[in-house]
Amino acid sequence: MKRRGTTRKISSSQLDGLLNDSRFRIAMIGAVFAVGMLVLWARLYYMQVMGGEKHLEQVSNQSLRRIRIPNLRGKILSSDREILADNKLEFDLVFYPQEMKQRLRRDTVLAMYNNAIKAAKMVGVERSFTTKEILNHLYRRPGIPFTVLRNLDTASAARAFEFARMTPGCDVVPRMVRVYPQGRTACHLIGFTGLEERQNASDKEEFFYYIPDTVGREGVEKACDVLPDKPGAGLRGYPGYSLIQVDKMGYAKNHIIHEIPPVPGANVILTLDMKAQRTAERVLAGHRGAIVVLDASNGDVLAAASAPGYDLSKFSPSVPRKYYSSLRNDPDNPLINRAFYGVYTPGSIFKPIALLALLSEGVNAENIIDCDGASHIGDARIRCASYRRGGHGTVNSVDAINWSCNDYMIENAVKFPADTLFEAASRAGIGRRSGVEIADARGVAPSFAEKRRRYRFGWTKYDTALLSIGQGIISITPLQAAVFCAALANGGKVYKPHLVKEIVDNTGLALHKRKVEEISTLKSTPEAFEVVKRGMFEAVNSSSGSGRRARVDGLEMYGKTGSAEIGRRGNLKIIAWFIAYTQYKGRTYAVAAMVEEGTSGGSLCAPMVKRFFENYLSPQENEQHGS
């Protein structure tokens, strides 16, 4: 029997209910989707339209800042490798403003200031800044640390580390400072440094935060700071930089993003022989004057002492204002490098140069004159050093140097045109800068124009007479005296003096080497040189020689005294001079010694030169002097 399926019948009212229920559900689902889309659209609208300005502000309030990293200066060394200028590690206590930042800037300032007071008390040093300086730092350079305590020694740095450990936003950072281990020795030659002023810096526009270099102010530090013709060969080197991200207030948001380290400066090796330098300074002590010693074969400056001097060790890391002021106000002018900058009347040390010129022009070396103690030029009288005893008597050219006879020089000089002596002075290097690496004075070259500039009238025979004995219109530096003394020693070659021997990088690679440069030649003849040489030998080695107090056992010394009178009668002052040269173990040394307001070159400077060579060329000397 077939089973039939049953069919449920639905009434019309029930059907209407089911249809209404489905529509309701669909409507609910649609409503949910609509609300979701509405929320999404609202959020997008808020972010893109209402929040866009705020978003752009956040982006614009974040920026990169380029911070300059200063250089590390190269060293300065003597020829025998003693360190004259170096760098030393010291420590600073610093605060990081972004880590001490409060809601208000004034609160940040107070927080930093109060922490600084605690730090100074714990470390045991005085703070040296005010709230105004902190505020100024936050306005100008909030992205870099604020230095609280500077130049901490080891013990102070240890206490500072302890404070930093307990204080958020505080750290102890190392810093290299310039030091001068030789103190007073060669102070005028080495010079000193200072921080560069931003307005003078060539790269000031390249950095947002400019941390300056240490730059040379005087001496070799200045002369070799940057060498324009040899990029990278100076003491200064090249700076580096770092990039940091800061917020709209300038505070650092992140650590360093990128960093390029600085390139260290080159090392400068001088021609100085430190034994010669120390010996020269020792024999000059107690006087106002200078001693310059050269290698006569090439112009190398082996020593250049100037007295009085100053203590370079006090110039590190910077010179105290009180000390520098005391030096500037000292009537003895210790800041002046008398060896290179001092300009003085040469007196009789010019006679060998003048005599060479006169002999070359035809003066017979064997001719004699009768010195009665004075020469008469018109109505004027110029006395000889022998005037008190009635003169030297009969004098030839060798005697003129040996006894330093004014009469001989004057009576021969006035027979020739004045420009004979002008040329001699010029060839000797007088009246022009020598070319040494650190600046020096020109001196005054005698000329018709110089006479008219000074006195408004022309040159006379009286001027020629004065010039022949190194007086009148002529002045020189001790360096120039040593240069022409070296020319007398080597046969007439006037060499450019050099203080810088070599410049090398950190690997020892030579970036620059000095070249031996002959800049002029003394006008003379071999016969004239022989006459002057004999006269200078007799001056030191004969019993009546004007420079006999310079005689040194075991050395063949040649020399010439000078005593230049300056000022007016009743207030005359003496510039005492002595120039000399000698040879030792194949090397020829030329020296010039000068003392301001001395007695005479023979009694004061000649003994100085004697003591110098006795101590410098002693049996215990280093066999590698200035090698």
Q: Which residues does 190 contact at the CB level (< 8 Å), separation at least 6? A: 76, 84, 85, 180, 182, 219, 220, 221, 312
Q: Which residue has the higher pLDDT, 257 or 229?
A: 229
Mark out the alpha helices in 491-546 (DSSP H runs): 526-541
- Work out whether strand 380-383 and strand 500-504 pair parallel, antiparallel, or are unpaired: unpaired
Q: Per residue in 354-373, pLDDT tens?
A: 999 999 999 999 899 999 99
The domain locations on the chain are 64-82+182-270, 86-175, 274-323+337-616
Q: Which residues does 53 contact at the CB level (< 8 Å), separation at least 6? A: none
Question: Distance between CA atoms of 33 and 37, rounded to whole angstroms?
Answer: 6
Q: What angle do CA 559, 563, 568 make, to 5 degrees?
A: 165
pLDDT score at 517: 96
Q: Which residue has the higher pLDDT, 279 or 101?
A: 279
Q: Which residue has the higher pLDDT, 430 or 72?
A: 430
Reported confidence tier of residue 175, pLDDT bands at 50, 70, 90: confident
pLDDT score at 13: 60
Sheet holding 558-566, edge to edge: 301-307, 289-295, 587-595, 573-584, 558-566
Q: Per residue in 483-541, pLDDT tens?
A: 999 999 999 999 999 999 999 998 889 999 999 999 999 989 999 999 999 999 999 99
Question: Distance between CA atoms of 181 and 177, rounded to whole angstroms?
Answer: 12
As given in the structure block, the two tokens for residue 585 are 């173990």
Question: Which of 189-203, 210-224, 245-259, 305-319 shows the lowest per-residue confidence on average (mean pLDDT)?
Answer: 245-259
Q: Which residue has the higher pLDDT, 27 or 538?
A: 538
For residue 366, the Cα-to-chain-centroid distance in whole angstroms is: 51
pLDDT of residue 51 exceeding 60: no
pLDDT score at 625: 44
Q: Which residues of 369-399 are buried (b: 16+ CB within 10 A; e: fewer)?
A: bebebebebeeeebebbbbeeebbbebbbbb
Q: Which CATH architecture has domain 274-323+337-616?
A: 3-Layer(aba) Sandwich (3.40)
Q: Per residue in 419-477, pLDDT tens?
A: 999 999 999 999 999 999 999 999 999 999 999 999 999 999 999 999 999 999 999 99
| pLDDT, mean of residues 86-102 | 87
pLDDT score at 125: 85
Q: Which residue has the higher pLDDT, 536 or 210?
A: 536
pLDDT of residue 87 exceeding 50: yes
> Do 310 and 297 meet the contact criterion of CB atoms below 8 Å apart?
no
As given in the structure block, the two tokens for residue 613 are 């060579």
| pLDDT, mean of residues 26-41 | 68
Question: Distance between CA atoms of 503 and 76, rounded to whole angstroms?
Answer: 9
pLDDT score at 407: 97
Block residue for tokens 């080891």 = 154
pLDDT of residue 32 exceeding 80: no
Question: Distance between CA atoms of 275 and 105, rounded to whole angstroms?
Answer: 59
> Do 112 and 156 meet the contact criterion of CB atoms below 8 Å apart?
no
pLDDT score at 3: 47
| pLDDT, mean of residues 64-86 | 87
Reported confidence tier of residue 24, pLDDT bands at 50, 70, 90: low
As given in the structure block, the two tokens for residue 7 are 């069919």
pLDDT score at 60: 46
pLDDT score at 8: 53
Reported confidence tier of residue 91, pLDDT bands at 50, 70, 90: confident
Return the SS3 of 440: coil
Percent of the chain with pLDDT over 70: 83
Q: What angle do CA 467, 471, 473 make, to 5 degrees?
A: 70
Question: Which of 6-15, 218-227, 519-528 shows the lowest per-residue confidence on average (mean pLDDT)?
Answer: 6-15
- Helical packing angle, 105-123 and 131-140, nearest 10°: 120
Percent of the chain with pLDDT over 90: 59
pLDDT score at 256: 61
Per-residue CA distances from 61 to 74, 97, 107, 135, 136 (Å): 40, 17, 22, 21, 21
| pLDDT, mean of residues 541-561 | 95
Question: Distance between CA atoms of 151 and 170, rounded to whole angstroms?
Answer: 16
pLDDT score at 255: 57
> Do 66 and 208 meet the contact criterion of CB atoms below 8 Å apart?
yes
pLDDT score at 176: 83
| pLDDT, mean of residues 547-569 | 92
pLDDT score at 235: 93
pLDDT score at 20: 62
Q: Per residue in 141-167, pLDDT tens?
A: 787 788 888 888 888 889 998 998 898
> Do 207 and 241 meet the contact criterion of CB atoms below 8 Å apart?
yes
Spatial CA neighbour of 72 closest among 96, 47, 89: 89
Spatial CA neighbour of 84 closest among 619, 501, 512: 501
Question: Distance between CA atoms of 168 and 552, rounded to whole angstroms?
Answer: 70
pLDDT score at 623: 41
Q: Per residue in 97-134, pLDDT tens?
A: 888 888 888 899 999 999 999 999 999 888 777 889 88
> Do 190 and 313 meet the contact criterion of CB atoms below 8 Å apart?
no
pLDDT score at 144: 79
The domain defined by 64-82+182-270 carries CATH number 3.90.1310.10 = yes
What's the sign of the alpha-carbon dihedral 212, 213, 219, 225? negative
As given in the structure block, the two tokens for residue 339 are 């060896």
Per-residue CA distances from 255 to 94, 243, 251 (Å): 16, 9, 11
Reported confidence tier of residue 140, pLDDT bands at 50, 70, 90: confident
